[in-house]
Amino acid sequence: MTLALEAVALRKRYGRTWALSDFSVSLPVGRVAALVGPNGAGKSTLLQLAVGLLRPSAGDIRVMGWSPRAHSQQVLPRVGFLAQDVPLFRGFSISDMLQVGRRLNPRWDQATATTRLQRLGISLSRSVGHLSGGQRAQVALAIALAKRPEFLLLDEPLASLDPLARHEFLKELMEAASTDGLTVLLSSHVIADLERVCDHLLLVNAGRLQVAGEIDDLMARHALLVGPQVEPDVVIPGVEVIKSLRNIRQTSLWVRAQRDDFRVPAGWQIRDLSLEEIVVAYLGNPDANAFPAPSLEGIAG
Amino acid sequence: MTWVIWRQHRVEAVCAALGFVAATIILFYSIQLADSVRVSLSSVGQSDALVAFGDRVGAAATTTTFALLCLPVLVGMFIGAPLFARDFEHGTYRLLLTQSITRRKWFWMTSALLLVPIAATAAWLGVLGTRWSEALGSLSNQWYQFDEQGLAFASYVVFALSLGLSAGVLLRRAVPAMAAAAAAYVAVRAFVEVFIRPQLQPAVRIGQDAPIPDGSWVFSNTAYTDSSGRTVSADKVNQLLQSAGAIPGTVADYLHAHGISSWVYYQPPGRFWAFQAEEALIFLVLAAVLVGVAAFVVQSRSD
């Protein structure tokens, strides 16, 4: 199994605070992964470590099997990166920006980039300073994709976009990803948009990886159980409770369990959880983890 | 890569070119003015009209000196300091360093593409400065134009630029880097000029009344010794003079009558180019160290 991203016991410290502590993850190639977590969880740090903008304080990170900082010549031509706040050169026209990419990259697909921007109605002669947030993001995406990367990393690309621009950005991204078989790692603190486009989830909380896995699999393995008021330490065989909420009428349990492995007790109801509900439940309980079993991952890869 | 650097920094490049053109014009004007006055002086001799003309030479010399004094600081502040600081400040280094180029290549290409042409232009201005100093000839003393000519001037420009770019790499913000570069440049230049340059070679000592060769750099302090050659402090000499009240004849004669000799120090004119080379070496070594530190920081910084 080829890994696009692999981190082992990765740590990154800024002064006295640990942005990542003991962070381990493996992301196989071909996935479109959502990197979610609250602000300050370490998402941006992880992405910048992956493209060599940061150097780990301890531990190891590999992208396409190479260390991003020590072997930048092997890593950089194969990754595309969209940095937070979409930095572009002030005073440059869009065609100047494309020229920058063409001059700095060995594999450069000028034609696709210009076609893409023209299709979006963004004129190449415009100055990047006069673009809307959505257009800036589209230009930066066009540059990142024109590199013909194998692995595209995006740091909060949706943060400053309105819903329509978000939709269009994700549409462009998904088209490119499916045509070129890209591996994508996309960070966001808004989960709703990602459910549609991503097949893999990495949940980062307080510098640690808390949940990782295929989104379909996670959705199938989590459920909400609603039943009569019971003792707080109620035990249902085959079920792990991530979050519980009791009021005078009923008890709600956010649980992890394989549907076939347990029986819904009499008087209880079961319903599916959305990805966002699963994420929120885990964020409320930092001690709960969910990782795919090694055997499953072996088969999946 | 060259195109990218040019596109990013073309405004600074054009401003630098204009600045250097302006400096060249000022120097040419000063050279011509000084030449004509010197020639007239030797052929016509002193005249009122010529004295008035000579004042214009003096005014032009002040302007030229000021322009050449400021040029290195301006280069350091407006070209050196923002060179890398702006990419760090605006976040565009994240864009540049995630294209398919190494940090090393980014740093050295950018530095070299600015350092080399600016150093060459500064050397050209140094040559013009020397020509100007020669044109002034007996109107001035070449040591007065030490900073505005030859190797020393070129090395100041290279030093200022290196100082600016390394301040930008270390501080990562353009305005603080500009301030730091200017302050450090002035401090180092002043320190070398006041404390190092006079001692690059041991000064020649000569009796106060003895003739000093033309074109020497004469130091302002006077030293005193008694008849056995031991140093006498200036305080003691002052006490002696005060206790004497009204002195008949010159001070030197009076002191001599009391067995005290007065001495002055100077650097002879023949050492001028050795001093130029030595001072240039100091600034070029400092510049090399600064660029080396900046390269190391760009390469190894962990964030």
Residue B34's contacts (CB-CB under 8 Å, 6 or more residues apart) are B57, B60, B61, B132, B135, B136, B137, B139
Helix (H) / strand (E) element for B129: namely helix B103-136
Considering the domain architecture, whether residues A69 and A201 belong to the same structural domain is answered as yes
Number of CB pairs < 8 Å for A and B?
71
Which of A46-50, A169-173, B140-144 has maximum average pLDDT? Answer: A46-50
Contact B96 A104 (CB under 8 A): yes
pLDDT average, residue stretch A278-297: 77
Q: Which of B3, B97, B302 sits opposite A103 (nearest CB)?
A: B3
The half-sphere exposure of B147 on its side-chain side, counting CA atoms within 13 A, is 18
Look at residue B241 in the predicted model and tell me its pLDDT.
80
Judge whether B9 and B114 are in contact, CB under 8 Å.
yes
Q: In this predicted model, which residue has the larger pLDDT, B252 or A202?
A: A202
DSSP state of A106: S
* Residue A265 binned pLDDT confidence (cut-offs 50, 70, 90): confident
C-alpha distances out from residue B120 to B23, B66, B72, B210, B272, Å: 14, 21, 13, 43, 22
pLDDT grade for A299, boundaries at 50, 70 and 90: very low
Does A204 lie in the same domain as A80? yes
pLDDT of residue B23: 92
Which of A20-24, A196-200, B46-50, B294-298 shows the lowest mean pLDDT across its residues?
A: B46-50
Domain shared by A278 and A153, yes or no: no
Query: Domain count of chain A?
Result: 2
Which residues from chain A sit within 8 angstroms of residue B7, using beta carbons? 89, 92, 96, 99-100
Chain B residue numbers touching A146 (CB-CB < 8 A): none
Assess if residue A291 is contained within a domain.
no
Per DSSP, B302 falls in state -
Q: Please state the ipTM of this predicted complex.
A: 0.87
Cβ contact A76–B4 (<8 Å): no
pLDDT at A301 over 70: no
Judge whether A205 lies within some domain: yes
Chain A nearest CA to B83, separation (Å): 13
pLDDT reported for residue A232: 64
In a domain, A137, yes or no: yes
Whether the CB of B98 is below 8 Å from some CB of chain A: the reply is yes
Asked if A240 and A149 sit in the same domain, the reply is: no
Domain with residue A162: its CATH number is: 3.40.50.300
- Neighbour order of strands in the sheet with A222-228: A240-246, A250-256, A222-228, A269-272
Note the pLDDT of residue B82: 96
Mean of the pLDDT values across residues B144-171? 95
According to the model, what pLDDT value does residue B229 have?
Answer: 80
pLDDT tens figures, A206-247: 899 999 999 999 998 999 989 888 776 677 777 888 988 888
Do A143 and A257 fall into the same domain? no
Distance from C-alpha of B169 to C-alpha of B5, rounded to nearest angstrom: 16
Same domain, A174 and A84: yes
Torsion-angle region of A16 (φ positive above 0: left; ψ -120 to 50: alpha; else: beta) = alpha
pLDDT digits (tens, 9 = 90+) for B104-145: 999 999 999 999 999 999 999 999 999 998 888 777 888 988
Residue A117 has pLDDT above 90, yes or no: yes
Dihedral Cα B247, B250, B252, B253, nearest 10 deg: -80
Whether A39 maps to a domain, the answer reads yes
Q: Are A241 and A265 in contact (CB under 8 A)?
A: no
Residue A47, min C-alpha distance to chain B (Å): 12
- Taking the CA of residue B17 and the nearest CA in chain A, the distance in Å comes to 21
Query: For all residues of chain B together, what is the average pLDDT?
Result: 90
Nearest CA in chain B to A97: B4
Residues A270 and A225: beta-carbon distance below 8 Å: yes
A24-38, B119-133, B176-190, B240-254: the lowest-pLDDT one: B240-254
Does one domain contain both A121 and A249? no
Residue A161 within a domain: yes
Residue B226 has pLDDT above 60, yes or no: yes
Residue type present at position B7: R
pLDDT of residue A296: 44
Has residue A297 been placed in a domain? no
For the cut 50, the answer to whether the pLDDT of residue A298 exceeds it is no
The answer to whether residue B93 scores a pLDDT higher than 50 is: yes
Count of CB atoms within 10 A of residue B50's CB?
15
Of the pLDDT bands very low, low, confident and very high (cuts 50, 70, 90), residue B222 is: confident
Q: Is residue A159 located within the same domain as residue A12?
A: yes
Residues A65 and A152 in one domain: yes
Contacts of B3 in chain A (CB under 8 A): 99, 103
Q: At residue A113, what is the residue type?
A: A
Q: In this complex, do A14 and B98 lie within 8 Å of one another by their Cβ atoms?
A: no
What pLDDT, in 10s, does the model give residues B32-69?
888 888 777 777 666 676 677 777 778 888 888 999 99
CA angle A198, A200, A205 (to 5 degrees): 110
pLDDT at A1: 64
From A200, A216, A232, give the residue that closes a domain: A216
What tens digit of pLDDT does each residue of B21-42 get? 999 999 999 898 888 887 777 7
Residue A183 forms part of a structural domain: yes
Q: For A70-94, what is each residue's pLDDT tens digit?
A: 999 999 999 999 998 899 998 999 9
In this prediction, residue B243 carries a pLDDT of 80
β-partners of residue A58 are A11
- Considering the domain architecture, whether residues A131 and A20 belong to the same structural domain is answered as yes
What residues of chain B lie within 8 A of the CB of A103, using their CB?
A: 1, 3-4
CB A83 within 8 Å of CB B91 = yes
| Residue A39 confidence (pLDDT) above 90 | no
**Does one domain contain both A225 and A181?**
no
Distance from the first to the final alpha carbon of chain A = 5
Search chain B and give the residue with CA nearest A147.
B99
Kindly state whether residues A169 and A81 are assigned to the same domain.
yes
Contacts of B8 in chain A (CB under 8 A): 89
Nearest to B4 among A48, A51, A100 (CB): A100
The per-residue pLDDT for B62 is 87
Q: Which domain holds residue A94?
A: 3-216
For residues B223 and B205, the answer to whether their CB atoms sit within 8 Å is yes
Both tokens assigned to A107: 């594999």
Please give the share of chain B, as a percent, with pLDDT higher than 70.
98
Rounded Cα distance between B193 and A29, Å, is: 63
| Other beta carbons less than 10 A from residue B293's beta carbon | 14
- Number of other residues whose CB lies within 10 A of the CB of residue A267: 9
Mean pLDDT comparison of A152-161, A245-254, B87-96, highest-scoring range:
B87-96
Is the CB of B105 inside 8 Å of chain A's CB atoms? Answer: no
**Could you tell me which residues of chain A have a Cβ less than 8 Å from any Cβ in chain B?**
14, 48, 51-55, 57, 72-73, 76-77, 79-81, 83, 85, 87-90, 92, 96, 99-101, 103-106, 147
Any domain includes A142: yes
pLDDT tens-digit map of B170-202: 999 999 999 999 999 999 999 999 999 999 999
**Residue B4 and residue A72: Cβ atoms within 8 Å?**
no
Are B100 and A106 in contact (CB < 8 Å)?
yes
- How far is Cα B221 from Cα A39, in angstroms, rounded to an integer? 67
pLDDT in tens, A121-162: 999 999 999 999 899 999 999 999 999 999 999 999 988 888
